[in-house]
Amino acid sequence: MPFRERSAWIMSAALFLGGLFYFRAVLSAWSESGELVSPGISPILAYTGVLVVLAVVGHIVAAALAPKDADAPVDERERQIFNRAGHYSSYVIAAGIVMSLGLYVLSSSGDLLFYTVFASLLVGQIVEYLFQILFYRASV
């Protein structure tokens, strides 16, 4: 498996686990208080910490397994893969943002807007990595 495909697996898993960690905390606080809690800085910092640790550790292991591959610059095929994956994931982000805005119009909740936009960005980024994996396997 190419290093950058491995990197895409690591990042999608790290984002998924980080997102799971964050939104479990949000949902738990919601069920405890009975209403949607305002976004705080501590869960975001915890999410960032989880993401950074998983990404750094994952990449250290992946680079140790294939140091030459990890050191090689991105080539023309990989650039195409990244561009296409970014292109398709942008539709996912845009759809999520539009839905978030629609929800805001209906609910007038700035807190809900924050969470749905955050989730859209998170899902969009995961989808981008999944498209990278797909295109690595199918080539371009």
Partner 1 sequence: MARKPPITNCVRELREQHGAMTQAELGDAIGVTRQTVIAIEQNRYSPSLESAFRIARLFGVGLEDVFSWGE
The answer to whether residue 65 forms part of the interface with partner 1 (CB under 8 A) is no
The reply on whether position 128 binds partner 1 by CB under 8 A is: no
Radius of gyration of the chain (CA): 17
Q: How far is the CB of 4 from partner 1 (least distance, A)?
A: 9
Which listed range, 32-40, 46-54, 68-76, 114-122, lies at the site for partner 1 (CB under 8 A)? 68-76
Q: How deeply is 45 buried, as exposed, middle or buried, from its count of CB atoms within 10 A (0-12, 13-18, 19+)?
A: exposed
The single residue among 56, 77, 94, 102 that binds partner 1, judged by CB under 8 A, is 77
Q: What's 8-23 look like in SS3?
A: HHHHHHHHHHHHHHHH
Q: Report if residue 111 touches partner 1, rule: CB under 8 A.
A: no
Closest CA to 132 of 103, 89, 94, 69: 89
Site membership for partner 1, residue 135 (CB under 8 A): yes
Q: Which residues bind to partner 1, rule: CB under 8 A? A: 2, 69, 72, 75-78, 84, 134-136, 138-140
